Amino acid sequence: MNINFSALPLSELSPGQRGSIYAVLGPGRGVQLRLSALGLRPGAVVQVLGYGPGRGPILLEVNGTRVALGRGVARRILVIPEKN
């Protein structure tokens, strides 16, 4: 797989920042299918709404739906941040 170096993990976006999903990496086919069912697939635009306290989950909006993801899963989703 040729990784685009402008892509970064979803967990590194700041609250309010938007990005387009570039790739979903591992950990297994079941997790990838579940994320796809939530709308988290390559090409989808996501916006980080906020972070839970401490090492809590990331609250996102994708296709008008709010989704909470653990940071471990969010690190496996590569996004290309939108330019402001």
SS3 30: helix
Cis peptide bond N-terminal to 27, omega within 30: yes
Q: In what order do the strands lie in the sheet with 18-24?
A: 8-9, 77-81, 18-24, 45-51, 58-62, 65-69
Neighbours of 10 (CB within 10 A): 25
Query: Residues 23-44: pLDDT tens digits?
Result: 998 777 888 888 888 999 999 9
Q: Does domain 8-81 have CATH number 2.30.30.90?
A: yes
What predicted TM-score, i.e. pTM, was given to this entire model?
A: 0.85
State the pLDDT confidence band at 84, using cuts at 50, 70 and 90.
low
Q: Where are the domains of the chain?
A: 8-81
Question: What is residue 66's predicted lDDT score, i.e. its pLDDT?
Answer: 95
Question: What is residue 29's predicted lDDT score, i.e. its pLDDT?
Answer: 83
